[in-house]
Homo-oligomer: A and B are copies of this chain.
Amino acid sequence: MSQKKTAITPTRQENFADWYQEVIKAADLAEHSVTRGCMIIKPLGYALWENIQKILDQMIKDTGHENVYFPLLIPLSFLQKEAEHVEGFAKECAVVTHYRLESDGKGGLIPSPEAKLAEPYVIRPTSETIIGDAMASWIHSYKDLPVKINQWANVMRWEMRTRLFLRTSEFLWQEGHTAHASQEEAAEETLDMLDIYEKLATEYLAIPVIKGEKSPAERFPGAVNTYCIEAMMQDGKALQAGTSHFLGQHFSKAHNITFTDKEQQNQLAWTTSWGVSTRLIGALILTHSDDDGLVIPPRIAPTHVILIPVILNDADREKIMTYCDELTHDLKRISYHEGSIRVSIDTKDYRAGVKFWTAVKKGVPVRIEVGCREIDNNALSVSRRDKPAQEKQLLSRDTILSEISSTLDNIQQTLLERATKWRDEKTQEINSLTALETFFEKENNGFAICHFDIESEHEPIVEEKFKAMKLSVRCIPWNQQDTAISKPCIFSGKPINTRVIIARAY
C-alpha cells in the first residue's frame, strides 16, 4: 500500500515534535533568532497575534479595563518584596548591570566599568511588583477602587530549552492587573477574566478548553488561587492556554496597597492578575494543523479566501486577472462575523500548483482557483482547508458569493467540533494507579480524570511517580467536579471528592 504524499515531512504520526517545527517553517510563521532562546515572529505569525490582540483587547476594554504601559526594567529589590514570588521567578531573569559600553582598546566593546548600576534591574518576567508599587501611590480611598488596567508587552524568562511560540525566553503577552476593595469583587474579577479567555479560545481560536483551578504545585508564585484554561493538543498532551490569578492581599502587603474604606478604616486592597501570550499561536498550530501544514480557523485568519489565478497562456492573463479583481471586490463587500471577508490574490510569479500548495501550507480557510475554463463555464474550483487538499468543488460565482460566509462559519464550527471530539476521545476516567500507568503506556497521552488528594501532591511517592511518568496535575476542572461522589484517591486510597486532570504537558 503506497503512502499518501503529504506537504509536511515528517507527518504527525512519524514525529510530532519535528512535524510542529516543519509546519511553522512551511507557513513561515517564525524562526529562531541569533539571540539565545528568542524568536523572530514573521508576518503571518505576527498577523495571527494582531488578530488575537484585536479580539481580546476589545473584550478587555468592554469589561471596563484600560490599557497602560509600565517600564520594562524592574529594580532588583522589588522582586524580593513578595517571598513566594521571588522563589518562582528569581532563577530565570535577564539582569541589566551596566548602562554604557566602551571600547576594549582592541576594536571591541565591553560594558563600561564606570557605568555599573548601584542596583541592577531585571527585565520584567511579569509586572506585579512594579505595578503594585504604582498602585500603592494611586490608591488612597475606596473611591479610587477598583483599578482595572492591562498592558500589552514583551516579557522575558530565561529558558534553557526553547520551542517556537511554546516556550521562548522573550515572548509577547497581555497582563491585566486589578485592585479591589473587597475579596468577593477581586475573586469575581479573576473568574470573569477566565471566562473571557475561554471565549477567546473556543469562539475564535476554535480550541476547546477546560476551565479549572491549578493545584498548589502549579500555582503562580505569590497567588492564593490560580485558575487556567487547559487544552489538549493533537498528541494528547496538555497545554495551559491562559491563567488568571487571585492574589489575595499578598502583593498589597508587599507593596503597601492600602485604602480608607467607607468607615474611615485603613484596609489592604485585594488584587488579581491574568494573562495570555504568543503561546496561544503554538496552541493554535498544535490543535488544528495537519500533515499538509497550518490550518487557521476563519475568525482568526488574516486571509479568509485566496484566489489563485491559473494562467496557462499569457494571452489569458488580463482576462483572468480582471475576473479575480472583480471577484475580490464582490467578496470584500460580504460581511462575515464582526467584519467582512478578507480576500487576497496570489499574484506571485509561480506555477498555479505551487501557489495552491503554498495556500494549503499557510492554512488559508478557502482557496479558489480561477482559470479560463473555470470562468467560461462559470464553475470555479473551490477547496476548504478543513477537508483533504485535493477535494475540490465546482461552484458558480453566485453560489460562492451567497455561500462564502456560511462556509467560513461551517469551517470554524468543524474545527472546534473536531478538536473537541479528539479531546473527549482521549480523556478517560481513571480509578487506580495501575490504570493510570496503563493509560499512559497504551494510549501514550491523553487526559486522565482521577480522584486525587491534592494535599498529597508533594509526597515523595506522588512526586516520584509523576516525575518518572512525566505527569502533572493540570487542573481541578469545574466541569468534572461531582462532589456527591467520593472515591478513593488513586495514590493514597483515602476517600476524596476532588477530581483532577493528570496529563503530560507542554
Q: What is the bound-complex CA distance between A134 and B107, given in angstroms?
A: 24
Which B residues touch A75, using CB under 8 A? 34-35
Q: Which of B38, B67, B102 contacts A50 (CB 8 A)?
A: B67
Q: What is the bound-complex CA distance between A76 and B101, given in angstroms?
A: 9
Choose, from A40-48, A182-190, A367-375, the stretch at the interface: A40-48
Q: What is the bound-complex CA distance between A348 and B344, given in angstroms?
A: 47
Pair B40/A69 contact, Cβ less than 8 Å? yes
Tell me the chain A residues, 48-103 only, with Cβ under 8 Å from chain B. Answer: 49-50, 66-80, 86, 90-102
Q: Which of B80, B100, B109, B172 contacts A80 (CB 8 A)?
A: B109
Pair B109/A79 contact, Cβ less than 8 Å? yes
Knowing A101-B93, A122-B101 are in contact, say whether A154-B72 is a contact too (CB < 8 A).
yes
A170 at the interface (CB under 8 A from B): yes
Which B residues touch A107, using CB under 8 A? 80
Pair B99/A93 contact, Cβ less than 8 Å? yes
Q: Which of B71, B93, B349 contacts A35 (CB 8 A)?
A: B71
Q: What is the bound-complex CA distance between A69 and B170, given in angstroms?
A: 11
Q: Which of B38, B72, B93 contacts A170 (CB 8 A)?
A: B72
- Closest Cβ of chain B to A414, distance in Å, is 29
Contact string, A9-49, partner B, CB cutoff 8 A, digits 1/0? 00000000000000000000001011100111111001101
Q: Which of B33, B77, B96 contacts A130 (CB 8 A)?
A: B33
A121 at the interface (CB under 8 A from B): yes
Interface size, A (range) = 35 or more
Which B residues touch A388, using CB under 8 A? none
A149 at the interface (CB under 8 A from B): yes
Which B residues touch A92, using CB under 8 A? 99-100
A333 at the interface (CB under 8 A from B): no
Q: Which of B47, B73, B122 contacts A67 (CB 8 A)?
A: B47
Q: What is the bound-complex CA distance between A71 and B38, given in angstroms?
A: 6
Pair A101/B90 contact, Cβ less than 8 Å? yes
Pair B123/A109 contact, Cβ less than 8 Å? no
Knowing A80-B108, A108-B80, A122-B101 are in contact, say whether A35-B95 is a contact too (CB < 8 A).
no
Knowing A91-B101, A101-B79 are in contact, say whether A46-B73 is a contact too (CB < 8 A).
no
Contact string, A368-411, partner B, CB cutoff 8 A, digits 1/0? 00000000000000000000000000000000000000000000
Pair A38/B72 contact, Cβ less than 8 Å? yes
Identical copies of this chain, number: 2
Closest to A124 in B: B35
A195 at the interface (CB under 8 A from B): no
Contact string, A163-189, partner B, CB cutoff 8 A, digits 1/0? 000000010100000000000000000
Pair A170/B71 contact, Cβ less than 8 Å? yes
Pair A99/B109 contact, Cβ less than 8 Å? no
Q: Which of B43, B94, B120 contacts A68 (CB 8 A)?
A: B43
Q: What is the bound-complex CA distance between A219 and B26, given in angstroms?
A: 40
A422 at the interface (CB under 8 A from B): no
- Closest Cβ of chain B to A440, distance in Å, is 33
Q: What is the bound-complex CA distance between A153 and B121, given in angstroms?
A: 19
Pair B96/A91 contact, Cβ less than 8 Å? no
A465 at the interface (CB under 8 A from B): no
Pair A94/B94 contact, Cβ less than 8 Å? no
Q: Which of A75, A79, A99 has the most CB of B within 10 A?
A: A99
Tell me the chain A residues, 144-163 only, with Cβ under 8 Å from chain B. Answer: 149, 153-154, 156, 158
- Closest Cβ of chain B to A105, distance in Å, is 13
By a beta-carbon cutoff of 8 Å, the part of chain A in contact with chain B is 31, 33-35, 38-43, 46-47, 49-50, 66-80, 86, 90-102, 107-109, 111, 120-123, 130, 133-134, 143, 149, 153-154, 156, 158, 170, 172, 349
